[in-house]
Amino acid sequence: MRIKEIIEAAMSVGIQGRHPVSAGARGLMAARWKYDNIIDRTNDTNMSNAVARLVSQLGEIEKIDYSSIDDLMRDISMSFEIDPKDLHNAFIAKYKLTPDRFAAKLKHDRQNRPKSI
């Protein structure tokens, strides 16, 4: 049974018994349900954008240590309203490296790049 049918069944007068839900309350419940669906669909996009921002800012970081990377990840997590641990796990899932290893590898690659004349 689809979720929409369940909600409609829960809002019907037959299931409610003695305390029917008013039309206004049903409208608010439906609006809340739509809002929750929209938020659930944007979570994946939000996480991928946060990972992309972390990658771009890891390239600009001056000092590669635990505290600077942790502060950076906390700032990004706050701006995207996600958990820092989820951001860390999404980063590892995408790049197969921790953010500190990725930043060190990026710095090493930039320093060993051939010089252009």
Do 74 and 66 form a contact (C-beta atoms < 8 A)? no
Whole-number pLDDT of residue 70? 93
How does pLDDT run across 61-110, given as a tens digit for each residue? 888 898 999 999 999 999 988 899 999 999 999 999 999 999 999 888 88
pLDDT bracket for residue 12 (50, 70, 90): low
pTM for the full predicted model: 0.63
Sign of CA dihedral 104, 107, 110, 112: negative
Question: Is the pLDDT higher at 43 or at 60?
Answer: 60
Rounded CA separation 1/27 (Å)? 22
In a domain, 116, yes or no: no
- Flag the least confident range among 8-12, 21-25, 47-51, 92-96: 8-12
The two three-digit tokens of residue 40, written as one number: 């659930």
In a domain, 117, yes or no: no
Residue 1 parent element (H or E): none
Whole-number pLDDT of residue 71? 94
Looking at the structure of the chain, the number of domains it has is: 1
In a domain, 90, yes or no: yes
In a domain, 22, yes or no: yes
Which among 81, 73, 82 has a CA at the least distance from the CA of 100? 73
Write out the residue range of the structural domain in which residue 9 sits. Answer: 3-111
In a domain, 13, yes or no: yes
Rounded CA separation 72/78 (Å)? 10
